[in-house]
Amino acid sequence: MERSRTQGDSARRTAPDRRIGPYRLITRLDPPGSAVPCHRFVARTPDGGRTVLLSAPLPGTDPARFTAEAVAARHLLGPWIAPVTDVSDSTAPTAPAGSAWYASPYVPALPLPVALAVHGGPLPEATVRAIGATLAEALGAAHAQGLTHAGVSPAAVLLTADGPRLTSFGAVRAAAADGEPRTGLPGLDPGALAPEQASGGRPRPPGDVFALGAVLAYAATGHTVPEREELPPALRPVVSSCLARDPADRPTAAALMTALAPPTAHQTVLNSAGTLLKPGWLPGRVVAALARQSAELLAAELPEAPEHAARAEHATPART
């Protein structure tokens, strides 16, 4: 448990005074050394009026492609998607190197790997089902619009008090262009990368389903490639079907949502996912960690910006 507390604490350490775009960084969202699809920070505007989740590309990622994927992510809508509200223009001729970023509204959130560390192991089956059904609903809506997420992985899933949020749209495409092998590239979780995408194939909806199956496996066992017997018996068939090597053998996102949250007499398929987010859907230690994060962020004070300090010094009357 001490290890879990340390990992959670490391995600909340205050970052040195630094800016990305118009935002000043407060802290990293992910612990150092985590396998993440991009750098993620909690950041604020200099006046303190707006707090965001800020994402920036990893070294070796094409910043122009990273920005293009962020722009495309604005078309994703729904309660289980972290919306992209602000995107850099890293393609402008005057844009400095390393200037790509995008921002989403901040809510207290833990990346799925951090949530497992805080909880002390795999999550309860009810929590896994809630995560799977809501994210399947989000992917189903994207697929209906002709969009493939191409970035689903354990680190791309953020847990909040009122449900998961899916981030990192297009991480697979940003890592390497279609036709180029993607195995071993930074930011891509090998266990969540569909075989056809690993070999350079164009991301398609079945690849999202494979990745979501890996997320469910991770939430239920602590790793993305478990033995079938490690999975809870009730989840084995659905997770195994998602992880089929042949894309044609995987369920659709809509079928996956129904399998994880079957409708009752008082529900329909259209509203079944959200009904799993009942009070207590998150383990108590995860809820407590979210509350701590919120309290620490409210108490965080950014270092005074140099230009503000200079103006303040200039405005202070000299003593005689």
Degrees (nearest 5) of the Cα angle 35, 208, 156?
Answer: 30
Q: How many CB atoms within 10 Å of residue 129? A: 24
The chain-wide mean pLDDT, for the chain, equals 86
Half-sphere exposure of 145 (CA within 13 A, CB side): 15
From 126-130, 200-204, 226-230, 238-242, the region with the lowest mean pLDDT: 226-230
Span 2-299: which CATH code? Answer: 1.10.510.10
- List pLDDT tens digits, range 157-193: 999 999 999 999 999 999 999 999 999 998 899 999 9
- List pLDDT tens digits, range 12-59: 444 446 899 999 999 999 988 788 999 999 999 988 889 999 999 998
Under DSSP, the state recorded for 141 is H
- Assigned token pair, 38: 């991009």
CA 161 – CA 184 distance, rounded (Å): 33
Phi-psi sector, 109: left (phi>0), alpha (psi -120 to 50), beta: beta
pTM listed for this prediction: 0.86
Ordered by start, the domain boundaries in the chain are 2-299
Between 205-221 and 125-144, two packed helices, what is the crossing angle to 10 degrees?
170
The whole-angstrom distance between residue 278's C-alpha and the CA centroid of its chain comes to 22
For the chain, the first-to-last Cα distance in angstroms comes to 59
pLDDT at residue 1, as a whole number: 38
- List pLDDT tens digits, range 227-249: 999 999 999 999 999 999 999 99
- List pLDDT tens digits, range 302-312: 555 555 444 44
